[in-house]
Each structure stands twice: as structure tokens, then as C-alpha cells.
Structure 1
Amino acid sequence: MIDLGIFCIRRYKRFLADIELEDGSVVVAHCTNTGSMKSLLEVGAPVLLSPASDPKRKTKFTWELIWINQSWAGVNTANANKIAISLLQSKQIKGLEDLQEIKAEVKNEDSRLDIFGKDKNGTEVWMEVKNVSMKEEEYALFPDAITTRGQKHLKRLTEIKKQGHRAAMIYIIQRNDVKYFGVAKHIDPVYAKLLEEAKKIGVEVYAVQIKWTKQSYSFEGLLSSQ
């Protein structure tokens, strides 16, 4: 990643952001975060961009991080799955440390779930990963917009659990200025209800906190769910 000065002239069309560079010029960066980005946007905040790997891509940079509340917060939602798989492979997530045969993007009936693995007993473990960027007081909250796709995934995980397999939601919290994890009932009450129902039948929930620096990230532990 490269430090290119300040953001926040504007974010628009969900996928684009105008970024002002240190020399005063302005570039258009790709924004992978399709949510509202509540509590994450701040005009004039320092940002980190990464150059596009495809030279033919229209936007030459991807927006990775923003400096907010005296710490870096992750903007690139595509990093959430990569982080989850890396932590699972390195056995850092308590409760999922015995997973084997870890695979990404595995089809399950009419859905494609983010991660599949098997535990030490040979039980299938199906996992869905969600990026968390919204903050209210000391809470990281998900979702920051109504998510019909997320609702569908919760229904699928609930069915998987009923079939006798393990099912888990992994929430990757890409900011370290929060202490707890919760569901944004005021934004998507349907999602909140589905998650509560899923937890009651044994769908596991892991709220994984990540701390970013300019160079990399570190695993800060699991946050308690409220």
C-alpha cells in the first residue's frame, strides 16, 4: 500500500471515491465497500491506497484504509475473506482452531458460502464472512445497510445447522477503536431476528477484531457479542 495524502473530496456511485494526493492532484479510486460506510467517512482524513494489479482497469487505485479516531480502519471489504482464511489456516480463532481441508467459495445447494472446512471429528463446518466497519459508541455494528444477501446466508446457515453440520458467522471488524460487537437492529431488524434465531439453534458467531497499520494487520482477539 502507498500513502497518498488526504481523502475525502467525495464518495459517489458507491464504488468510486475522489482522493486528493499530496501534490494536490485528484485521482478516482475504487471503493469495494458497497454499504453506507456510516461512521467511516470523514472529509479530509488520511487514507491509504493500493495500485491496481490490472493495468487495464479504469480506476488505477483501490481504497484500502482510512485514518479515523486515531487509528487505521479497513475500507476494502475484499480483505475480510482473505483475513478470515489466513487466521483459520494459522489456527488463531478459538473454537475454529482445529479446522482442516479449508476451502473458499464452496457451493451449498442454491448458495455459495465463503469458507468450508472439517473439524477434528470430521464434521463439516460451513462459514460465512462479513466485513464490519460501522461504529456506534464502543460497539462495532453489522450491517450498516439492509442486506437481503446477508439474510439469505443466515437462512442457509440455519438449515445447514439443522442438518447436523456446524455453521458459523465470522464477522471481521477492521477497526480497533471498539470493544464490543452487536447487530444493528435499527438498520436491518430482519437480519437481527434471523441471527438471533440462528444462534438459538447453535449457529456459531465469531467477532474477530483486526488492527491495521500502514504495512499490515494483526489479530487483536475476539470481541464479546452484545
Structure 2
Amino acid sequence: MKFDKELVHGKLIKRYKRFLADIELDTGEIVVAHCTNSGSMKSCLENGAEVYLTPVDDPKRRTKFTWEMIKINNDWVGIHTGNPNKLAFEAISNGLIPGLEGYTTVKREVKFGDSRFDVYAENDTEKCFVEVKNVSMKQDEFALFPDAVTTRGQKHLKTLIEVKKQGMRAVMLYVIQRSDVHIFGPAKEIDPDYAALLKQAWEAGVEIFPMQAKVTPEEITFVRKLPFQI
């Protein structure tokens, strides 16, 4: 997934009200950027760290920049929660994820029951629903999800179990937007209910794909599938 525009470099002053961040650009100008990540952003917030922003031309937007990434441990961590959906759709459409290739039809935002899944794919032999989650939290060598309690995420797991029961393929795709982790797992201390549901879903046949992505100011690309512990 390549960025459509040239990103703007700066440094994080502070994040506040969840969806806002004050950024000092290289020019010295201080701007307010929109933060798409509603979670705690635990382990990927560091005041004074380098960041990259996308400039926004929409005259209806109050904020003229969207925060894309932050430099932590000398590498970029993607914090834009919309990018994993774009990346996943692009990769599945082009058969770039081992185990999720060979689909002739790939769509975004497809309903099943009372849920809407990020990606739906099918071919002559199977139908597959994929839910995509952004992962930015790190603890030791682990990438963990979620970084805040997510009742919406719990609902998606329950619906994926139902998808599997109806004979279709159900996939939980975690997009890990950082390179300094080596294994994926649920954040049991933060959301024990989600962790328990993920284990239940796995035992019911829902597939878990923790895909690590390399984040740069030019593009975001998948590099490997991580092992996981649930």
C-alpha cells in the first residue's frame, strides 16, 4: 500500500482527547493532526518522537493533517487504523498473503448477520469473511491486541464463529504495524473477555493470521506471518 501523497515530517508534542495530536513540523509550525486510533496507544506514544502526517485538502475538515506513524525504537510504527483495511484488501486481491490467495472476487465492507466485515473473498470452491484489526501495542517480544477493551471486537469474534458454523471460511487478520515484535497474542490483562473469545473462536475453526507489516513514509507492506499464543 503506497501513500497517495508525500508525507509531512514533524515531532509529537502531545496526543489529547483521543483523536487529536499537536505536532511541530520541521518548519517550526505547530499543527493539530487527526488521530484515527481511539485506543490507548500504549507502547507507541512518546512525546518528542518523530512522526509523519498526511496533508488533507478537504475544506470541511477542521484538522488539515492525519497522523500516520511514529518512530519508536528507531523504527516506524503505523498508528493509522484505516490503513490495515486498505492493505489487507489490496494484498488479498493480489494474492500476496500465503494462505489467503486464489480468490476471484474480493469485496470490502460486506454484511453477515448484524456485523459488517472488512473483507469478503470467494472463488469457485469457498467463501471467506475476513475481519481486520490494527495492532500497534508491544510488550517484550509480543504484539498484543487490543490496547483497550473492545466490545465491538468481541462481537466480531462471535459472528466469525457463526460464519464458520455455516460452513464458510472465517479469518481474523491482525495487521501488526511495527517491526520490533516476534510473536502475537491477545492482551489478556487489558481485555480478558476478548482473549477468552479469541481462544473459543480458534477452537471453533476461526483462522488467525497475525501479519507483520513494514511501515515506511513511502509505503506499508506485509513481510511475514508471525506465530501466536492464545
TM-score range (shorter-chain normalised) is over 0.9
Alpha-carbon distance, 1:94 to partner: 1.3
State the alpha-carbon separation in 1 of the partners of residues 113 and 187 from structure 2.
28
Alignment deviations for residues 50-78 of structure 1 (CA, whole Å, 9 cap, x no partner):
01141321000000011111111101111
Under a length normalisation based on structure 2, what TM-score does the superposition of the two structures give? Answer: 0.94
Matched, 1:141 2:144: yes
| Cα RMSD (Å) | 1.1
| Secondary structure of 2:120 counterpart | strand
1:64 is aligned, of 59, 62, 68, to: 68
Superposed CA deviations along residues 164-190 of structure 1, whole A, max 9, x for unmatched, are 111000000011111111110111010
Equivalent residue, structure 2, for 1:89 = 93
| Letter aligned with residue 58 of structure 1 | R
Cα shift readout 1:122-181 (whole Å, capped 9, x = no counterpart): x21011000000000111100000000000000000011011111000000011111111
Secondary structure class of the residue paired with 2:175? strand
Query: How does 1:1-226 map onto structure 2 within 5 Å?
Result: 1-7=6-12, 9-121=13-125, 123-226=126-229
SS at match of 1:85: helix
Alignment check: 8 A CA contact 2:131 2:171 kept: yes
Asked whether the 8 Å contact 2:18–2:37 carries over to 1, the reply is yes
Distance 1:198 1:100 in 2: 26
Distance in 2 separating the partners of 1:42 and 1:139: 19
Q: How many residues align?
A: 224
| Unaligned runs of at least 5 residues, structure 1 | none
Identity among equivalent positions (%) equals 56
Q: Which deviations, in whole Å up to 9, do the C-alpha atoms of 1:174-218 show, x marking residues without a partner?
A: 111111111101110100111101100110010111111121122
The TM-score normalised by the length of structure 1 is: 0.96
Task: List alignment gaps of at least 5 residues for structure 2.
Answer: 1-5
User: How many Å apart are 1:120 and its aligned residue?
Assistant: 4.7
Deviation at 1:100, TM superposition (A): 2.3
